[in-house]
Amino acid sequence: MPARRERLPHQKISLKFLADHLQLSPATISLVMNRSTVADSIPQETKDRIFAAAREFNYRPSFVARSLRTQRSFTVGVMVPEVSEGYGTLLLSGIEDYLLQEGYFYFVVSHRHKPDLIDEYPRLLLERCIDGLIAVDTPSPLAELSMPVVKVSGNDVNRGKAVTHIVLDHRRAAHLALDHLASLGHRRIAVIKGQDFSSDTEIRWNAIQEAAREHGLKIPSQNVGQLVGDSASPELGYEVTKKIFAKGAAFTALFAFNDVSAIGAIQAIKEKGLRVPEDISVIGFDDIQSAAFQSPGLTTIRQPLRKMGLVAAETLLRRIAGTGKDIPRVIRVEPQLVVRGTTGACNSPKPSKKKTRR
């Protein structure tokens, strides 16, 4: 058996040196260091030896050689509306986890729903040689791009056969929320709609109206408000709830477009001298990390955001590798009702039934 090689002073560590040192083939080391799917068949003990030796000798695989060999940059672009606590952050955590696991780097850009940025960013990312793009809550179809594209959220699933869509079942989400409120005796419900520019606003509002009809509920126009502005602050929910009150709306429950706006709505309800949930129940949407730590904890419709990010990243890399022929054009994920402290039984007096004369 040949002797293990020792590093000479100032010697640049090559793949061949590491292979000789470990008495393994260069191909085995390359597969493991580049996290190839073929490396799944290599024993974990061997992988551990390779990574330990790479750390010992400060070996780094040649990115340039890898890119030339595969004709890829191993970089993808991610377009999001904004980066703040909530929807976008949880999606990015799932995207990042999967890309790091697969040895991919990524650029993140925030378009703030500005048309000029939505049009310009894909071109700028293409100039940086990305292999594919994940677009989150981005209204442009992006179907004309000459690269694999995965979209998260949106109601334009009939556009762009070259685009894979990761979408929530909004119909199921609306039914979960209204079924819960109806079971608690709520008949007068207010709704906070999303901003005009959000991809989910129209499809979710239509789903809420459908669920309300099935319960025999009417949501009058004075009980409906819409978020205005691109801020990710609870202030938007606070302001729209005050406007709903100003219209003289009467309601015992409120269904907000997202958790952040629900938190703002609760503040407006409290300033009105009302209690949550004793006087008005509140349901949010998304289940952001801080939702469980509100006082009381926020009842919400959980969007599996981290999972959606993971699925988006996995789907994109499969399409980049040319192994995504069996991927459906639309991948739907299921919501979940999370009941906490902001919803309770309706305490409003029920109208008395009129006595009929015999």
**122: preceding bond cis by omega (within 30 degrees):** no
Gyration radius of the chain over CA positions: 26
Q: What is the pLDDT of residue 357?
A: 39
Q: What is the pLDDT of residue 4?
A: 52
Q: What is the pLDDT of residue 63?
A: 54
> Which of left, alpha, beta for 163 (phi over 0: left; psi -120 to 50: alpha)?
beta
Contacts of 124 (CB under 8 A, 6+ apart): 109
Q: What's this model's pTM, rounded to 2 decimal places?
A: 0.77
Residue among 198, 125, 352 at smallest CA distance from 134: 125
Residue among 260, 109, 111 at smallest CA distance from 197: 111
Please identify which residue in the block is written with the tokens 């009381």. Answer: 296
**Rounded-to-5 percentages of helix, strand, coil across the chain:** 40, 15, 45
* Cβ 154 vs Cβ 163: under 8 Å: no
Structure token digits, residue 311: 């699925």
Q: What is the pLDDT of residue 142?
A: 60
* Cβ 296 vs Cβ 342: under 8 Å: yes
Q: What is the pLDDT of residue 15?
A: 77
Segment 103-132, tens digit of pLDDT: 788 999 998 888 888 888 988 888 888 999
* Cβ 174 vs Cβ 211: under 8 Å: yes
- Domains of the chain plus CATH, in order, are 15-61 (no CATH), 73-168+306-333 (3.40.50.2300), 170-303 (3.40.50.2300)
Please identify which residue in the block is written with the tokens 């400060």. Answer: 58
Q: What is the pLDDT of residue 66?
A: 56
Q: How many CA atoms lie within 13 A of 100 on its CB side?
A: 7
Q: What is the DSSP letter of 186?
A: -
Contacts of 74 (CB under 8 A, 6+ apart): 63, 66, 67, 103, 104, 105, 131
As a residue count, the chain comes to 358
**148: preceding bond cis by omega (within 30 degrees):** no
* Cβ 310 vs Cβ 94: under 8 Å: yes
Q: What is the pLDDT of residue 141?
A: 53
How many CB atoms within 10 Å of residue 74? 20
Please identify which residue in the block is written with the tokens 């109601």. Answer: 155
Enumerate residue ranges in the chain where pLDDT < 50.
Answer: 1-3, 8-10, 68, 349-358
Segment 34-93, tens digit of pLDDT: 666 667 788 999 989 988 888 888 877 655 555 545 556 789 999 998 877 678 888 999
What are the two backbone dihedrals, phi and then psi, of residue 221, each rounded to the nearest 5 degrees? -60, -35
List alpha helices for the chain, DSSP H.
15-22, 26-33, 44-57, 63-70, 87-101, 115-127, 170-183, 201-214, 235-246, 259-271, 305-320
How many CB atoms within 10 Å of residue 331? 16
Structure token digits, residue 183: 């079971």
Burial of 171 (0-12, 13-18, 19+ CB in 10 A): middle
